[in-house]
Amino acid sequence: MKRMKQLAASAVCLGMALTFSGCSYTGGKRIVRISHAQSEEHPEHQGLLKFKEVVESKFGDKYEIQIFPNELLGSAQEAIELCQTGAIDFVVAGTANVETFEGDYEIFSMPYLFTSRDAYHAVMNDVDYMSQLYNSTDESGFRVLTWFDAGIRNFYSTKKIETPDDLKGQKIRVQQSPASVAMVNAFGAAASPMSFGEVYTAIQQGVIQGAENNELALTNNKHGEVAKYYTYTQHQMVPDVLLGNTKFLDSLSDEEYDVFMEAAHDATELEMSEWDKAVEEAYNYAKDVQGVEFIDVDIEPFREKVKGVQQDMIERNPGIKDMYEHIQEVNKEFDSKNSDKNSTEALIEEGETK
C-alpha cells in the first residue's frame, strides 16, 4: 500500500515537473516557481513568503510567486536540474546538493570547517565576498542569490552515539555529496547517500540506523519519531542557498533584478531571525513529546577522526583552497575575540567571587 502511495506521489511530481516544461502565465502574470525541501512551518518557508511579499508588492501585476514545499517538485538534486533547464525558476537547496553541479561548493561539506557559529555567519553574511562564488555558476544555468542558515549538523540514530566507536557498524544517511560520504566513512560509520525525503522510511524500516542534520529534522521531518538519540558532534555547518535560473534572472530589467535581490536578502534576514527560536522549539518538542535523548559529547575524538578529510579534500579539489584559507582567517578572528570575551568573563567572575 505504502509503495503504491509512493508511486502515486512520484507520478504526481513527475507530472507536475513535465507540465512545467516552459514558463507559464496566469491572468497575464508570469508564474515564478520556487521549490524547496522543508515543511511550511520551517523558517525557510517563512523566508520565501517574505520573498513573495516583497516581489509582489512591487511587481504583483507582472509576477506571481508560487512556492512548492516538501520536495513536491522532486528532491533537491532533481529540483536543481529543473531550475537549470528553466522548468522552474528558483530552488532552495543545501550546498551539498549544489557541489555536484559546481565543485567549489564542496568547501561547505568539509567537517569542522568553521570553528564557531560567529565565524560561519560572518563569512556567509559577507555579500561581496560570497558573490564571487554565487556568480560563478552562470554557465551551469543557475546563479545563487542568497543563503539561509541551516544550523549545525549532528548525528541522530536509533542507537546511542557517545564516542566515534559507537558509529562503527551503523549505516548513516548523508546528503548526495561525495565529501559528506568521505566524512561519515572517516568517522567509522557506513555512509548511505539518499535524498532528504527518503530518510524517515529508511530509518523506520531499519535500512539505515540514523542520519545527521540540525534539530529541525527531528520535528519538521518527524525523524525524532524513529530515531531517539541525538548527539552534538557539531561536525558541519552546511548552508542552504536560494538559486535561480540564469536566463530568467537575465531577462529581468535592472529595476526588477534589484527588487528580486532585495527580496532575497529580506528572506534571509527573516529566516535568520526565526532560526534560533525554531531550534529551541524543535529541541523541546523532540525531548518532551517524541522522547528524544539529547547527548552532549567531547567533540575532540570526533574531530580527530576526520582530520585527514580536510587535507584530502583540498588536494583533490584545489578550487576550494582560497576559500578554505579565507575561512581560516575569519575563524582566527573570532576565536581570539571569543577567547578575549571568555577571559573578560572569567575576570569578572573572579572579581565577583572575591
Q: Does 150 contact ligand GCU by CB under 6 A?
A: yes
CB atoms within 10 A of CB 101: 18
- Interactions with ligand GCU, residue window 306-345 (CB under 6 A): none
- How far apart, in Å, are the Cα atoms of 192 and each of 189, 224, 296? 9, 19, 24
Q: Please, what's the b/e burial string for 132-150 (b: 16 or more CB within 10 A of its CB; e: otherwise)?
A: ebbeebeeebbbbbbbbbb
Measured from the CB atom, is 278 or 327 closer to ligand GCU? 278
- Interactions with ligand GCU, residue window 266-295 (CB under 6 A): none
Measured from the CB atom, is 56 or 75 closer to ligand GCU? 75
Q: CA 134, CA 265: separation in Å to the nearest integer?
A: 14
Q: Does 175 contact ligand GCU by CB under 6 A?
A: yes
Interface characters, 90-109, with ligand GCU (x: CB under 6 A): ---xx---------------
Binder among 102, 166, 240, 271 for ligand GCU (CB under 6 A): 240
For the bound state, the minimum distance from the C-beta of residue 38 to ligand GCU, rounded and expressed in Å, comes to: 7
Q: CA 269, CA 271: separation in Å to the nearest integer?
A: 6
Measured from the CB atom, is 112 or 196 closer to ligand GCU? 196
Q: Does 217 contact ligand GCU by CB under 6 A?
A: yes
For the bound state, the minimum distance from the C-beta of residue 218 to ligand GCU, rounded and expressed in Å, comes to: 11
Q: CA 171, CA 193: separation in Å to the nearest integer?
A: 10
Binder among 59, 63, 142, 196 for ligand GCU (CB under 6 A): 196
Query: For residue 346, how far is the Cα from the chain centroid?
Result: 35
For the bound state, the minimum distance from the C-beta of residue 324 to ligand GCU, rounded and expressed in Å, comes to: 22
Q: Does 213 contact ligand GCU by CB under 6 A?
A: yes
Cell numbers found for residue 103: 565543485
For the bound state, the minimum distance from the C-beta of residue 97 to ligand GCU, rounded and expressed in Å, comes to: 6
For the bound state, the minimum distance from the C-beta of residue 236 to ligand GCU, rounded and expressed in Å, comes to: 10
Measured from the CB atom, is 144 or 150 closer to ligand GCU? 150
3-class state of residue 162 by DSSP: coil
- How far apart, in Å, are the Cα atoms of 88 and each of 33, 243, 255, 300, 303? 5, 11, 22, 43, 39
Binder among 34, 65, 67, 76 for ligand GCU (CB under 6 A): 76
Question: Phi-psi category of 86—alpha, beta or left, where left has phi over 0 and alpha has psi -120 to 50?
Answer: left
Q: Does 37 contact ligand GCU by CB under 6 A?
A: yes
Q: Does 32 contact ligand GCU by CB under 6 A?
A: no
For the bound state, the minimum distance from the C-beta of residue 113 to ligand GCU, rounded and expressed in Å, comes to: 16
Yes or no: say if 55 and 65 are a contact pair by the CB < 8 Å rule: yes
Measured from the CB atom, is 155 or 334 closer to ligand GCU? 155
Q: Please, what's the b/e burial string for 341-353 (b: 16 or more CB within 10 A of its CB; e: otherwise)?
A: eeeeeeeeeeeee
By CB under 6 A, how many residues form the interface with ligand GCU? 10
Cell numbers found for residue 163: 564516542
Where helices occur in 60-147 by DSSP H, the ranges are: 76-85, 95-98, 117-125, 127-134
For the bound state, the minimum distance from the C-beta of residue 186 to ligand GCU, rounded and expressed in Å, comes to: 18
- The site for ligand GCU (CB under 6 A) is made up of 37, 76, 93-94, 150, 175, 196, 213, 217, 240
